[in-house]
Amino acid sequence: MSDVKTVSRTYYNSCYQHGIDEKRRVQIPAKWRPEESGTELTVVLWPKHPIGTCLRVLPPKKMEKLMADIDAMPNSDPSKVVLKRRIGSGSTQVTLDKSGRICIPDDMARQADIKDEVLLVGLLDRFEIWNPDLYEKVKAADEVLAAKAFELME
């Protein structure tokens, strides 16, 4: 018998539309929830898409990688401190409650135009939370680029 423990990996795939309650709590799909109770996810206000802002949710290993990537930038690069400041001030740690929900801070919800419905969009190794109407525009823009992007795949 082998004592090797198999490590399961969470893949964030598919899209899920959920309502938000009056406390701005949103249900996370069961298969996307961390296995270990108390695991913190990082919610980052992500202004990177030209169509609009979303909330990007990073599991601990992705947050560690993001921090390492920024730390690896030369100190002489002014983008380094800008990224640290924007991501540091525009993010928060969340833990799922017993019902599998996270609470979206009011200021983040406002900046991402999140009201009573959200769309959780899997990015394989992380996920995003979008205003559903805004995401429809993002999806249309992605379709234009998809054929070229898939050419890069084997």
Is 6 a domain residue? no
Structural domain tally of the chain?
1
| More confident call, 52 vs 120 | 120
Reduced DSSP (H G I as helix, E B as strand, rest coil) percent helix, strand, coil of the chain, to 5: 35, 30, 35
Is 130 a domain residue? yes
Residue 4: the pLDDT is 57
Is 3 a domain residue? no
pLDDT in tens, 35-94: 888 899 999 999 888 888 999 999 999 999 999 999 999 999 999 999 999 999 999 999
d(CA 100, CA 96): 5
Parent domain of 128: 15-151
Per-residue burial over 9-19, b = 16 or more CB atoms within 10 Å of its CB, e = otherwise:
eeebeeeeebe
pTM above 0.75, yes or no: yes
CATH no. for residue 98?
3.40.1550.20
Strands of the chain (E only): list them.
Answer: 15-19, 25-27, 40-49, 52-58, 91-95, 101-103, 117-122, 127-130
